[in-house]
Amino acid sequence: MTLNPAIKLAPAQTGEADKTEVDAPLDVTRLLTTITDNLVGMLYRCRVDAIWTMEYVSEGCHKLTGYRPAELVFNTRVSYDQITLPEDRDDVSRTIHAALESNTSFEVEYRIRRADGRACWVLERGVGIRSEDGRLAWIEGYIQDISERMAANEMLREAVRRYSSIFEHATEGIFQTTLEGRYLNANPALARIYGHVSADALIDHLQDISRQLYVQPERRTAFVRLMQEHGVVRNFESEVYRVDGSVIWISENARAVRNADGSVQFFEGTVIDITERRQHEAALEYQANHDSLTGLPNRSLLRDRIEQAIAKAQRDAMRVAVVFVDLDHFKLINDSLGHHVGDRLLLEVADRLMTCVRSHDTVARQGGDEFVLVLTEQHDADETLAIVKRLLDVVSQPWLHNGQEYGLGCSIGISCYPRDGDGPDALLRCADVAMYKAKTSGRNTYHAYTPELNQAINERLELQNNLRHALEREEFRFYYQPRVDVASGRIIGAEALIRWDCPVKGLIPPDHFISIAEETGLIIPIGQWILQEACRQNRAWQRAGLPSISVSVNLSPIQFRHAGLVQSVADALQQAQLDPAWLELELTESFVMHDAERINVAMQSLKALGVDIAVDDFGTGYSSLSYLKRFPVDRLKVDKSFVRDIDSDPDDAAIVRAIITLGHALGLKVVAEGVETHAHLAFLQQHGCDELQGYLFSRPVPAAEMEALLRGTAASAGQCIAQRIE
């Protein structure tokens, strides 16, 4: 029932008011009429009967209910009880009757149905009126529209419900702490992260965050200092103890909550467990700096070790020796007995070399069967030669494998700081030249670098001179290696690979001349030609009606640092009239992480053109997730050195899985290079790799053969993957 009884006092008489003097008596009737008619709401008087018959309603009735006063008074058109929503009538009736029986005023909120059909909330206040004989006869009161307030209250309640739900069910830990280091509030997720059974248990246990939580208590000091200086902390990573004493890594984002006077009231923020990510990152960083087979420093870390050794030698007025070791006849053993035997031999040699050096020296694997030793704190040449002779003796000891004895030997080249160079490149180059001399001198011997050993350098200069004219003589050739989509088996891209068709030396692969081009600055015009030719060829394929694919172009670090790179890319796209979406630029991981901040700015400029960006050789450089997640990268290309043994080497398999997981977590496509066997294919399919590239599908081929692949007139590069999927 609609408890909305409304009583109307007799309507005030209207008419034009006479002009009166300022001190004329107050017209109370007119005043009450004016107030009544202009109230935002409805004054009423109703009978205490079954349907709350209205005897009077004010002019506010029409705005409130949509009905004219004459339509409600004495139920002429509709009774007020009828426009009260049926589901609210009983509650309203009970409230009013209880007040009347106790001889008190009442206040009740409920909903009515307006004349236009719209429901609205109203607040009714009233009091019972008795007749002269003492009988309870009427109710007089006031009804107003509270729809806006009810809507606001509902929004507030919904916001509270939402916040409570988020707080209770969030996967991230949420906290509030005092400045002194106690928890004020925590959600269940934070309790789970720290190993507590509940948030209350966490709050009760952790009374001193700096000492009980952080493995390094000074981290809390650093946290508070950042809060005081900036009011926020972002990606604040620390090692913390769980309640069982185990250690995990967390990342915190938090802010200072201040009082009206600006003083800090408490800290609040979120916590995520980044232990798995840190472990993946550590594995990737270790792999970036160490050889996957021997665990020795690789060439990336080697350069750093040489630089450190030179710096120390400068301070101490000492010498540094760089010793280049190349195994003799390793290829014969590797090819005849197999790679697995060759790998065991390399492990054996690595162990032997380690026995010949001191703890502050370095043994690194340069690649293949080449090792480099960095001997620090050398006083003179005799001290260095004593170590080198021991190396020859130890390495040349017979190697026993499966009951078979194999003779070993090595050729050693030596360079020395400061005599032969003042940087890693010069010392490595000189040691390499000296090693080559030792090899040509009969092997299993050593040779120190001398200026007379410059024949190799002269040959390099000859190659450099020929390279200067290669572009104008149109001696460069383009080859393309297809990139295949795992899901569909279709060719969706191709990597553009340059070859030099030298009239003197024949077809030269890029690793033999790109470094020369970089050193001489020729990489800039050559790189521009590569971009233009790749865009031109891709657009030509599109105009020929072939399926649209993305063509990838490798960017040299020298080329990337050039101020005109972005304009060069834009010009190449414009000249070819190629949509930027069909061009991808590749950068090696080690270069990307070398100068991350500046490179990120350049990447953003390239990305603004609309091209895709890929990180090549991923896993071999200095990857850091804190940078990688901020780069505008579209693809990670897993280096083929990891793919080669994924079906036999658990470490390689784990690293590839980690890279795929990492790439997908960052929203990136993952491409595996060097896919050569069906076992590689099966592994990569199973673990969700997006795209593949390798000899299993196609070797790098000239443009005409690539066109044939796209036309389908040759065996589809994706045929084997399609069959596998089927």
> Among 390-404, 609-623, 661-675, where is mean pLDDT lowest?
609-623
Given a cut of 50, whether residue 146 has pLDDT beyond it is yes
Beta strand 136-145 pairing with 183-186: unpaired
Q: What is the pLDDT of residue 703?
A: 93
Helix (H) or strand (E) holding 81: helix 80-83
Give the span between the Cα atoms of 71 and 65, in whole angstroms. Answer: 11
The token pair at 543 is 């105009």
Q: What is the pLDDT of residue 31?
A: 62
Q: What is the pLDDT of residue 518?
A: 78
pLDDT tens digits along 460-490: 677 888 888 888 889 899 999 999 999 888 9
Beta strand 106-113 pairing with 319-327: unpaired
> Among 130-134, 226-230, 320-324, 626-630, where is mean pLDDT lowest?
626-630
Given a cut of 70, whether residue 597 has pLDDT beyond it is no
Which strands, in side-by-side order, build the sheet including 264-273? Answer: 183-186, 173-177, 264-273, 247-258, 232-241
The CATH classification number of 28-147 equals: 3.30.450.20
Mean pLDDT of the chain: 86
Q: What is the pLDDT of residue 8?
A: 39
Burial class for 297, CB neighbours closer than 10 Å (0-12, 13-18, 19+):
buried
Q: 523-725, superfamily in CATH? A: EAL domain (3.20.20.450)
Measured CA to CA in angstroms, residue 451 lies from 83, 150, 220, 378, 421 at distances of 108, 92, 58, 21, 11
Given a cut of 60, whether residue 724 has pLDDT beyond it is no
Name the amino acid, one letter, at 678. Answer: H
Q: What is the pLDDT of residue 269?
A: 93
pTM beyond 0.75: the answer is no
Residue 133 pLDDT level (bands cut at 50, 70, 90) = confident
Q: What is the pLDDT of residue 32?
A: 64
Residue 435 near residue 324, CB atoms below 8 Å: yes
Residue 33 pLDDT level (bands cut at 50, 70, 90) = low
pLDDT tens digits along 40-85: 789 999 999 888 899 999 988 999 999 999 999 999 999 999 999 9
The token pair at 578 is 């190629």
Tell me the backbone φ, ψ of residue 537, rounded to 5 degrees: -65, -40
pLDDT tens digits along 310-358: 999 999 999 999 999 999 878 767 766 778 888 999 999 999 999 999 9
Give the span between the Cα atoms of 4 and 45, in whole angstroms. Answer: 10
Beta strand 612-618 pairing with 635-638: parallel
> Among 69-83, 107-121, 151-165, 618-632, where is mean pLDDT lowest?
618-632
The token pair at 228 is 């005081």
In the chain, list all ranges with CATH 3.30.70.270. 290-453
Please compute the mean of the pLDDT values over residues 265-284 and round it to a whole number. Answer: 92
In the chain, list all ranges with CATH 3.30.450.20. 28-147, 170-273
Given a cut of 70, whether residue 397 has pLDDT beyond it is yes
Q: Provide the 10 A C-beta neighbour count for residue 313.
A: 17
How would you classify residue 363: left for phi > 0, otherwise alpha for psi between -120 and 50, otherwise beta? beta
3-state secondary structure of 700: coil
In the chain, list all ranges with CATH 3.20.20.450. 523-725
**Among residues 725, 589, 582, which one has the least CA distance to residue 663?**
589
Give the span between the Cα atoms of 384 and 382, in whole angstroms. Answer: 5
Residue 512 near residue 503, CB atoms below 8 Å: no
Residue 151 near residue 101, CB atoms below 8 Å: no
Fold of domain 290-453: Alpha-Beta Plaits (3.30.70)
Given a cut of 90, whether residue 400 has pLDDT beyond it is no
**Among residues 446, 342, 429, which one has the least CA distance to residue 389?**
446
Q: 170-273, superfamily in CATH? A: PAS domain (3.30.450.20)
Give the span between the Cα atoms of 381 and 415, in whole angstroms. Answer: 10
Please compute the mean of the pLDDT values over residues 221-240 and round it to a whole number. Answer: 93
Half-sphere exposure of 258 (CA within 13 A, CB side): 9
Residue 546 near residue 711, CB atoms below 8 Å: yes
Residue 96 pLDDT level (bands cut at 50, 70, 90) = very high
Give the span between the Cα atoms of 67 and 145, in whole angstroms. Answer: 14
The DSSP symbol for 581 reads G
